[in-house]
Structure 1
Amino acid sequence: MASADQQDDEFAACCTEAGFNCTNLCHYPPAAIGRPEMTCILDMFNPWIKCYANGKDNRECCKAAGVTGQYEKCLDFCNGVDPQYTPSSAYINCPEIRTAIVKCNHDSRIG
């Protein structure tokens, strides 16, 4: 089983390999995505999601954890399989459900 430090290291290494420079967003839990982080993430949105979700589709875990209804758009943060998303204000509610998303993506690295 991977340690929390190892999971962080894997997330950070993925970001480094992708050329992503916002290191505060490459650890579990990543920093909340405010305006400065969104500016940094704009050009690397999909590679970051791929790293964040460990290149896996964690949407079923996220749905079971409550990422549904008004948070359905936030499922994009749970799908690291070839993400093709566009940063937008549609993600405005996602910080409210962030804990569930972090847990599912983090736990996908265990095992």
Structure 2
Amino acid sequence: MRFSILLVLALLIVVASTCKSNGSCGCCGCRAKAKARAANRVNIDEFDPKDDGNIFGLEIWNDTKIHVNDNNVARLTNPNHLFHLCCENRKLPAACVQKCHFNVYDKQVLENIFIGTDDCPLDFLPEMQFCAAQGKDHRECCTARGVGDTPAGSKCLTFCDQRPDIYTPIDYSYSPCLDRFEDMKQCFYNDIRKSARRHFIPKLNKNLEF
């Protein structure tokens, strides 16, 4: 029992911690540092301060050149595709990218990564959570699904807010939150699907006009 509690707490700490091993700040959209890391640039101070506003791994949302058509609109509005693409673009190891699918990314996967029985390194777990949420704030949905209805109360909503560079220190009181992981994940999926449809389908209709 004690091991289980410690495992849950440790998992929560990892998911909410900084992405320090990968050179970014917060979890996980520090744009300049993440882009510099991806480009293998050593001196982050050399990065152009005139950032384009895109968060590394989520550029597809602001890609003005993307051509939405009947062949790709289903993919662009599929949360699994966006989750997977983010993990790929953030250069996560292949063993982690394979888990970047809502049918695969579950509580058991988190536990396996933590105890070291999965090939995906523990350091990349925060980035997977960030990509699953697409760097968005899902607290409204999480509240409606009862994520805050645990002994930890509204603290659990911390894990639903994956906006870039938000960091909250975690302690033992957050341990009940992992029991609501599936509810959090369902919110991520549903919210992303709605956002993607609102974002990409109008581009399809616009293309059809020409």
Name the TM-score, length of structure 2 as normaliser. 0.43
1:54 Cα deviation from its structure 2 partner: 1.4
Match of 1:97 in 2: 180
Q: Within 5 A, what are the aligned runs for 1:14-33?
A: 14-21=86-93, 22-29=96-103, 30-32=105-107, 33=110
| Pairing 1:1-111 to 2, within 5 Å after superposition | 6-21=78-93, 22-29=96-103, 30-32=105-107, 33-34=110-111, 36-38=112-114, 40=120, 42-68=122-148, 69-71=150-152, 72-82=154-164, 83-84=166-167, 92-110=175-193, 111=197
Q: CA separation of 1:56/1:2 partners in 2, compared to 1, >3 Å: closer, same or farther?
A: farther
The runs of 5 or more residues in structure 2 that have no matched partner are 1-72, 198-210
Letter of the 1:58 counterpart: H
Give 1:93 shift: 2.9
* RMSD of aligned residue pairs (Cα, Å): 3.0
Matched residue count: 109
> Identity of paired residues, percent?
28
Q: In 1, Cα distance between the equivalents of 2:121 and 2:159?
A: 13
Residues 76/97 of structure 1: CA separation in 2 closer, same or farther (3 Å cut): same
Which deviates more from structure 2 when the two are superposed, residues 50-59 or residues 69-78?
69-78
Instruction: Work out which of the two has the higher radius of gyration on C-alpha atoms and give 1 or 2.
Output: 2
